[in-house]
Structure 1
Amino acid sequence: MDPTRITGLYSDLCALAVPVRAHVKEQKLNGQTLYDVNTEWTQTELVRGSRLSLCQRWILLIEENQKIQSALPPGPAVPQNAECLSSFSPVQGLRAVIKETSGHQLLEVWDERGLRKCLNLTALSKHGRVYDDTHFGCLSWSRCENKLLYIAEKKIDSPNASGNVKDRSVYREDWGEALSNKSVPVLSCVDLRTGCLTVLEAPADVSPGQAVWSLDGESIFFVGWYHEPYRLGLKFCSNRRSALFQIDLAGHYERLSEENVSVLSPRLSPDGSALVFLQGKVFGPHAQCLKMQMLDIKSNKISTLIDIVHRAQNGEDTGGFAGVYESLPSCCWSEDSQRIVFSSAHKNWKDIFVVDRRTQNISCLSDNMSAGLRVFGSWKLLTIHRDLLVVCCSSPNTPPTLRVGFLPPDGHIVSWKLSGLDFGAILVKPSTQGKTKLPLVVFIHGGPHSQFPAEWNITTAGLVQLGLAVLMVNYRGSTGFGQDSILSLIGHIGQQDVRDVQRAVQFALQTDPTLDPERLAVFGGSHGGFLSCHLIGQFPDVYRACAVRNPVVNAATLLGTSDIIDWRYSSVGLDFSYEQIPTAEALATMLQRSPITHAPKMKCALLLMLGAKDRRVSPHQGLELYRTLKSRGKTVRLLWFPEDGHSLSRVDTQTDCFLNTVLWLQEHL
């Protein structure tokens, strides 16, 4: 396991492209129906330390009975350089692109003949930079294809130009970790016929995003996040107070959803009769089971299509629907505007489901599981067009692949029965092994309210190819097991989740004789790092090595530095309010649940990887543990990444972390 081999393996794994978006356009040619499937992929390239975006295109020949006759070879992938956002129009398939060129942001519209329209958004000086993130960002076509809608930062006049020099140093709030350049978003509308750019005034106390046009193009639906009295971190947090709004081009707006909820993912039906969106509770778990709500456009009434699922349900064919946990794809409606197709966490998998708005019946569209067989562990819907589904599938041992198929006319309706609070784990091992037992790496997800689905994971794949077994644990509190499971963790972090992980480890060791109980390591980031540190402190004689990324170490000292201070209270079972002032009792509770209290018992070798720009979990958390262990003569090493944040997502950082983690495990296992 020399560094060159490790880096070479990681480079090969990163080179595998992953499909992220798709668009389908239907055409008629010589009596045949053709489906033009445009897909966007991402690929990591280590030589330049960059992430590439590329496009690949397939032509499908479709028979009258919706059977795919053949698919023409795609040809070479086409790079998409300097593109921030892109979107296809609903009828003609025009492609709108916002890209960076020489410090300017351009809006381009392309058709089959070439460039049709180009606007220099920076030179127009109506707003700041366009948002290209997945929280606020959008690039939405009107149905008439004459208007484009996107979100940008509100323009701020230069203090020198206005003479208001005293405001130059005024603190400007932003939306937290990974959104530090997002402060005051505005709705921006371009009329492609005239080239006129209009900035719409949303309600003063909300930040707009995720905007979509109404069917007639005269109004806009959008999500507005309330930013008073102050902003809390938005990334990975679907529990922020927000509402569904509608605004016309004159700036008149109306709130459509109820108060004191969180909403996301508004999606208009093809016939314009209904709009679905997801709704959750404010505060508490920052990721949780969501309702699917439907707005009837004519009556302006909202009904519930899918309610919160409190217990994961068992069905004969699907293994059980567990609720909605993820954003809806941009295109999720069936052609007849009667069904909504979506992906969601489902126990240890990710599956595709469809709900009928007339009956509210839910069906599973993923692998046939009647015999317990799954070709793929994870299914993610990229888009649906005229009932043609484009899906990304993968498993821990199968890189992402693209699949297409038509939505069944009715789908199989499943009956449910309730079950208890269970949790799961996924064990991935090398395909060949000798007489020597395998070292086991326990891989713990962060969140804590997220999931390890049985899908392709570069870190897991790399460790397994280097001869290590990997156990990925979905402890109680993970998404995909029902809302009761999520809520069961509130007030019990550092206890229930630690016991669940250790129980999964013991079960794996007891039932799989190929695993070596004398060579155990634990690895995780954020809350996964929190649990890793707890495990090596609470079970000091079990683990020989540990590697953690931006771990929560001391919740009490983290309180004043995190962009999600509400979670610091909720996680230990305390209520949060904006005007909250810490009490000695609250700080004591946070400290008691923190792994720093177990530091004197820690024995195993610990590797810490910290991002200096982390606003979710301050790097001083890891430094606190580092100094505590150093003062006790323990084996500890710290990697410091000055330009990275909580996710440690820079390409060079990820490569460095993988290499050092593997070498650390090799040395100490």
Structure 2
Amino acid sequence: MISKDVKASPRGLLIDDLWRIRKVGTPLLSPVGDDLVYHVSAADIAENERYDLIVLLSGETAAKTVLGKGTVHAWSPDGSRLIYENEHGELHIYLIAKATSQFLVQRYGSSYFINHLAENNCIWSPDGKYIAYLSADIPDSKEEEHNGICVFDDLLYKSKGGSGRPVYADRAYTHIYLIAAEGGSPTLLTPGNFNEHSITWSPDSRHIAFISNRTARPDDIQQSDVWKVDIASLEITRLTEHQGLAYQPKWSPDGAHIAFLATSGSIGTNDSPAEDTHIALISSNGGSFQYLTKSLDRRIEHIRWHPSGKYIFCTAGDHGDTSIYRVSSVGEKVEMVRGGSGCISEFCLDAIGDDFVFVKSDSNQPAELFRSKNKGTIEQITQENSELLQDKTLQKAETFWFESFDYTKVQGWLMLPVDFEQTHKYPLILVIHGGPHNMFGHDFDERMHLLSAAGYAVVYVNPRGSHGYGQAFSNGTLLNWGGGDYQDLMAGVDFVLDKTPWLDPERLGVTGQSYGGYMTNWIVSQTSRFKAAVSDGGLSNLVSFAGTSLYHSLMESEFGGRAYERFDELWKWSPLRNVAQATTPTLILHGETDNEVPFSQAEEMYVALKKRGVETRLVQYKGEGHGWRPELSPSNKADLNARMIDWFDTYVKTTSNEQ
């Protein structure tokens, strides 16, 4: 197994370092030169907030200009201007030569949640004359609050709450608007009682393709198609008629085709589908479409056309790595072109399509920007975390494979404690990912390093249900939450304990967020081998979850139909059903305004464990929604991690770690 002879320096990641981590993303290269704009997510200790800075990097001088807080959307076709959005939803044009900004138009947002891959983008027309953008209906200032009484007649009446965002969805539809790049009054292109998202221009600047769910019951039926609108006549044409979901269309350079991501399942979900997305290609006039990436059998994301139109580039996860692939637009030939080690989360192409700028991280390296040049040379562009890391020792996770109970091969990773010495016995923490179809791998996760610095070895596994191993493996949780995936996790723990003599099998802890929180709850209801558990945003009762979550469609997708027809099956796989067997001290962490996994899920588990007499504590974070996302206030995130470590220190570190 894993063996180290050299003691690492005891300078790991600490709670106070969370403020200092800077996260890069959204690289956009100028269409005519080497100027680059990107985002840097940073934290403000005084204001207790995390925000995105827009950074412009000059290709000639390498000088950096911070345009402000907000979101950058697109370059003008001639590279002379940028369109960006500030914190207040105002679209501005930044003039490169003059280094000044001018207001363009106010954009409005809706709290209605469409789906997890919907793009809320703004794009410049190829001829440079117009900017198309998405905006919600203008709020009605005359609308009354009804004296605090809320009346619902929509199925998706909840929103993604947290950090000051509304708890309930508004009734504002999001539409496509057009405005002259030089300013003026915007034109509404897509009126009606539907939502549009994920827009792309035709190369001749005459049409905009978009995604919309225009079924009879869009709140209930998670299906969507590709549409297009003629900007002169305002005629709207449906291009696809398929069973499934469509995402993120991209018009081909010659205007003949539109590529998009698609699934084909009869029961869709707005959250975490088991079905992998694939690139589909359709004529720009509509009709049947073909899939281009089924032969890869991996989940496809972030599609970009090569300027020649011969290829489409995309990212896909495979065995814990996320790489850039090149896909032939006239066949199904797929080949990796960048990556193979680490996780590339986003990328863009230069004007001629030869070089990439991409965001990449590794298990011991936060995400930074890199550029591939001269057909292979890789140059690191940003050093946002070099100052933080110069006096830190972050352990690199090492991968392993094992056979599960049914001989299925499963991948996992083991991270050593920062102060590792082979003569010591170390406690082990099992960390479980969310989804259930997420993927662990060679990516940077703060939790692992905080635990490593606190003296723990950390094991994490991609049990069946994880993506990155093919569709059959991703389907592993269907009708079977807590079945094969639970056994995979236990087999992974047993494997590392058997192969690693410096681990103490009597000092085990377990934690996870979202689905990982569900699995943590499930584990404490199945076994007493763990000395402590920390459940973060976890599910406990799939029956009540199906009726209270923003993602009620997830239960239908995972269990094959309406929840009320499958209550017995949902209860069978609910941790609450077996809570009478639980004895593990359990810390439950949850956001007050979490509508994805409602706070009531934490309450049900907490009350049951308390009545069972199990040592349990429930911590609610006021105003917080779901997940370890950037919008979680830095102070709350620090508190959450500190409580996790303290809980494990109290209940797992109960004996000396030396023999």
TM-score class, shorter-chain normalisation, is 0.7 to 0.9
Which of 299, 303, 307 in structure 2 is aligned with 1:324? 299
| Pairwise CA distance, 1:166 | 12
How far apart, in 2, do the equivalents of 1:402 and 1:41 lie?
10
Among residues 438, 441, 454, which one is paired with 1:453 in the alignment? Answer: 441
Deviation at 1:192, TM superposition (A): 2.5
Equivalent residue, structure 2, for 1:629: 609
SS in 2 for 1:241: coil
Map of 1:543 onto structure 2: 530
Secondary structure, counterpart of 1:278 in structure 2: strand
Match of 1:508 in 2: 496
Per the TM alignment, residue 280 of structure 1 is displaced from its structure 2 partner at its CA by 0.3
Secondary structure of 1:337's counterpart equals coil
Q: Quick check: 1:612 aligned with 2:592? A: yes
- Count of matched residue pairs: 592
- Tell me the equivalent position of 2:516: 528
Give the equivalent residue in structure 1 for 2:541: 554
Kindly indicate whether the alpha-carbon contact (under 8 Å) linking 1:135 and 1:209 is maintained by their aligned counterparts in 2.
yes
| 1:118 and 2:103 are equivalent in the alignment | yes
Aligned equivalent of 1:313? none
> Matches of 2:601 and 2:185 in 1, distance apart?
50
Q: Name which of 176, 183, 188 aligns with 2:177.
A: 188
The alpha-carbon distance between structure 1 residues 502 and 150, as it changes in their structure 2 partners (threshold 3 A), is same
Are residue 666 (structure 1) and residue 655 (structure 2) matched?
A: no
Residue 132 (structure 2) pairs with residue 149 (structure 1):
yes
- Is 1:24 the counterpart of 2:24? The answer is no
**Does the 8 Å CA contact 1:53/1:79 hold for their aligned counterparts?**
no
Structure 2 residue runs without a partner (length 5+) = 1-9, 162-167, 377-406, 653-659
Could you tell me how far apart the structure 2 residues matched to 1:506 and 1:248 are? 60
Q: Does 1:351 align with 2:331?
A: no
In the TM superposition, what is the alpha-carbon distance from 1:79 to its structure 2 partner?
4.0
Q: Distance in 2 between matches of 1:667 and 1:336?
A: 60
- The Cα shift of 1:335 comes to 2.6
Normalising by structure 1, we get a TM-score of: 0.81
Tell me by how many angstroms 1:570 deviates.
3.8
Deviations along 1:511-549, whole A, 9 cap, x unmatched?
A: 122222111111012211111112122121x10010011
SS for the counterpart of 2:104 is strand
* Partner Cα distance (1:98, 1:139) in 2: 9
Matched, 1:98 2:85: yes
CA, structure 1 residues 160+477, in 2 after alignment: closer, same or farther (shift >3 Å)? Answer: closer
Q: Distance in 1 between matches of 2:146 and 2:507?
A: 62
Give yes or no for the alignment of 1:399 onto 2:356. no
Letter in 2 for 1:83: G
One of 449, 458, 483 as aligned partner of 1:495 = 483
Q: CA deviation at 1:14?
A: 4.2
Report the CA distance between 1:60 and its aligned residue.
5.5
Q: How far apart are the structure 2 equivalents of 1:491 and 1:284?
A: 15
Are residue 41 (structure 1) and residue 77 (structure 2) matched? no
Q: 1:244 aligns with which of 226, 247, 263?
A: 226
Which residue identity does 2:52 align to in structure 1?
S
Q: Distance in 1 between matches of 2:650 and 2:146?
A: 57
| Range with bigger deviation, 221-230 or 590-599 | 221-230
Q: Distance in 1 between matches of 2:191 and 2:408?
A: 43
Secondary structure, aligned partner of 2:547? coil
Q: Which amino acid aligns with 1:12?
A: D
Q: Deviations over 1:31-76 (max 9, x none)?
A: xxx6223332212344432113234455558xxxxxxxxxx6x45x
Distance 2:257 2:16 in 1: 46
Cα distance, 1:8 vs. partner?
8.3
Residues 1:257 and 2:240 aligned together: yes
Q: Pick from 636, 641, 657: which aligns with 1:653? A: 636
- The whole-number CA distance in structure 1 between the counterparts of 2:105 and 2:30 is 28
RMSD: 3.2
Post-superposition CA distance 1:557-596 (Å, at most 9, x none) = 222212222322443x3423xxx7x25xx22221111111
Q: Provide the secondary structure at the position in 2 that maps to 1:505.
A: helix
Distance 1:100 1:531 in 2: 37
User: Using a 3 Å threshold, how does the CA distance of structure 1 residues 199 and 229 change in structure 2: closer, same or farther?
Assistant: same
Query: Are the structure 2 counterparts of residues 561 and 227 from structure 1 closer, same or farther at C-alpha, using a change threshold of 3 Å?
Result: farther
Task: Give deviations 1:642-662, integer Å, cap 9, x for gaps.
Answer: 201122541232221111101
Would the alpha carbon gap of residues 607 and 228 (structure 1) be closer, same or farther in structure 2, given more than 3 Å must change? farther
Counterpart selection for 2:578 from 598, 614, 633? 598
- Distance, in Å, in 2 between the alignment partners of 1:131 and 1:39 is 27
Residues 1:171 and 2:149 are matched in the alignment: no
| Alpha carbons of structure 1 residues 307 and 399: separation in structure 2 relative to 1, 3 Å | closer
Q: Which amino acid aligns with 2:16?
A: S
Q: For 1:35, what is the secondary structure of its paired residue?
A: coil
Residue identity matched to 1:568: M
Contact 2:12 2:453 in 1 (8 A): no
Secondary structure of the residue aligned to 2:538 is coil
* Mapped partners of 2:327, 2:53: distance in 1: 33
Shift of 1:408: 5.2
Equivalent residues in 2 for 1:418-457, closer than 5 Å: 422-434=409-421, 435-457=423-445
Question: Percent of counterpart pairs with the same letter?
Answer: 20
Give 3-state SS (helix, strand or coil) of 1:481's partner.
Answer: coil
| Aligned-partner SS, 1:560 | helix
Answering whether residue 332 of structure 2 is matched by residue 380 of structure 1, we say no
Q: Structure 1 residue 462: deviation in Å?
A: 1.8
What are the Cα deviations for residues 195-245 of structure 1, in whole angstroms up to 9, with x where unaligned?
A: 1211122564x310011111122211001024642525xxxxxx9311000
| Residues 443/165 of structure 1: CA separation in 2 closer, same or farther (3 Å cut) | closer
Query: Hey, what's the Cα distance between the residues in 2 that align with 1:655 and 1:427?
Result: 24
Of 177-186 and 654-663, more deviation after overlay is shown by 177-186
SS in 2 for 1:628: helix
**Conserved? CA contact 2:30–2:75, under 8 Å:** no
In the alignment, is residue 220 of structure 1 matched against residue 226 of structure 2?
Answer: no
TM-score, length-normalised on structure 2? 0.82
Residue type at the aligned position of 1:105: E
Counterpart-to-counterpart distance in 1, 2:471 and 2:427:
35
The 1:400–1:119 alpha-carbon spacing in structure 2 relative to 1, beyond 3 Å, is closer
State the Cα distance separating 1:88 from its structure 2 match: 1.6
Q: 1:30: which partner in 2?
A: none
1:142 Cα deviation after fit: 0.3
Which whole-Å CA distance do the structure 2 matches of 1:407 and 1:358 have between them?
Answer: 26
| Structure 1 residues 191 and 296, CA gap change in structure 2 (3 angstroms) | same
Segments of 5+ residues of structure 1 without an aligned counterpart are 28-33, 62-71, 233-238, 310-320, 369-375, 410-419
